[in-house]
Structure 1
Amino acid sequence: MALDTAELAHGLFRVLETGDLELAVDVVDEQNHNREAAVAPPACAIPGPAGTLASGAWLRSAFSDLRFPVLGVARNDDQVWVRLRMQGRHTGPFVRFKDGALDQAIPPTGREIDFEQVHLLDVRGGKVVRHEALRDDITMLGQLGVFPPAPATALRMLAWRVSGRAARAAAEVTALAAGAAGALADASHPTGRAS
């Protein structure tokens, strides 16, 4: 049974919260393009469910208890607009990328994030085929002490960069996201994997 557009929207964000492989296949089209992957590890730009699973792994690596409570949904036959909040606790490095390379690594602060986003999803054939967002990243960075820069946070970020911890965090989250994307291939070919 095909999900309606509102159920697809809820399902997409549930995939980001949980990494649910079966749900990702049910709600994300193989041709899905996530325009928001520009600041994420390279695997997040992979089309289809694999890129969505990678995006969720990246976010969950930085924010424990990640959740996306939906505040409102508007839709027509082939588009869904979702207004929601992104919430969680910053317990892992939040690594942002530019052109696939490390741009910024924010060391864990233990702080809560809670900010609003609006997402536009294009739907075709009962699945999400394209995703764009308008996020309030400035509020999130403010909640993490990055913008405007809190002196303690700025010093920790500089120390991470100079010591190589930022580069190691980027490598780890890149591998984690790639592993989440690869889980889809592993699940569809369980005997093709080396032991």
Structure 2
Amino acid sequence: MTMVYEDLAVALFRILETGDPELAAQVVAPDNHNREAAVAPAACSIPGPAGTLASGAWLRSAFSDLRFPVLGVARNDHQVWLRLRMRGRHTGPFVRFRDGALDQAIPPTGRDVDFEQVHLLDIRDGQVVRHEALRDDLTMLGQLGVFPPTPAVALRMAAWKVSGRAARAADRVTALAAEAAGLAPTHRTAAHRRA
């Protein structure tokens, strides 16, 4: 079955919401490149469906009820632009990485996130081959109480770092992403060593 470009774009975000490997194989090209994986666990940078499945596992580990309602779609002969919102409840640690190592672990706040994003997808032969985005991450961090930091969230983040919980959360989410990508589990990660 060949999907129209707009359906492919929407389906990519259904994969992130659900972790559906069959849909990932249909929608995501084997050489797909996700430019946005730079702040995610290493498995999210793997080309193709595996990296997309890893990205979904990473996001779902932090945000329950993850949804991406679409606000608008535009396209040309080989690209789709998608304007959408990311919505969910922050019920697990949201771990961000830099150069493959732990950068920041935000302990669960129980707060809802709802912020806008614009995604650009390159399409070739009926599959997504490249993804990049403009996200309003400052709004998301504000909704989580991280920017500007509320005293309670800042104290919890510091306590997590000092106690090693941040490193353990990074190890856990790294393992979840690797498992979703179909990789063998790894032992201690660079995230744990740098924390």
What range is the shorter-chain TM-score in?
over 0.9
Moved over 3 A (4+): none
Measure, in 2, the Cα distance between the counterparts of 1:78 and 1:23.
20
Amino acid at match of 2:76: N
Deviations 1:3-61 (A, max 9, x none): 01000001000000000000000000000000000000000000000000000000000
**Residue ranges of structure 2 left out of the alignment (5+ in a row):** 184-195
Equivalence for 2:88: 88
Amino acid at match of 2:97: F
Equivalence for 1:58: 58
Amino acid at match of 2:144: L
Please give the TM-score of this superposition, normalised by the length of structure 1: 0.93
Please give the secondary structure, in 1, of the residue aligned with 2:181.
helix
**Residue ranges of structure 1 left out of the alignment (5+ in a row):** 184-195
Measure, in 2, the Cα distance between the counterparts of 1:69 and 1:110.
21
Q: How many residues align?
A: 183
Shift of 1:92: 0.1
Equivalence for 1:192: none
Shift of 1:76: 1.1
Paired residues for 1:113-192 under 5 Å: 113-182=113-182
Measure, in 2, the Cα distance between the counterparts of 1:122 and 1:50.
18
Please give the secondary structure, in 2, of the residue aligned with 1:182.
coil
% same residue: 81
Please give the secondary structure, in 1, of the residue aligned with 2:148.
coil
Please give the TM-score of this superposition, normalised by the length of structure 2: 0.93
Amino acid at match of 2:151: P
Deviations 1:105-129 (A, max 9, x none): 0000000000000000000000000
Equivalence for 1:190: none
How big is the alpha-carbon RMSD for the aligned residues of Structure 1 and Structure 2?
0.6
Measure, in 2, the Cα distance between the counterparts of 1:152 and 1:10.
37
Deviations 1:63-99 (A, max 9, x none): 0000000000000110000000000000000000000
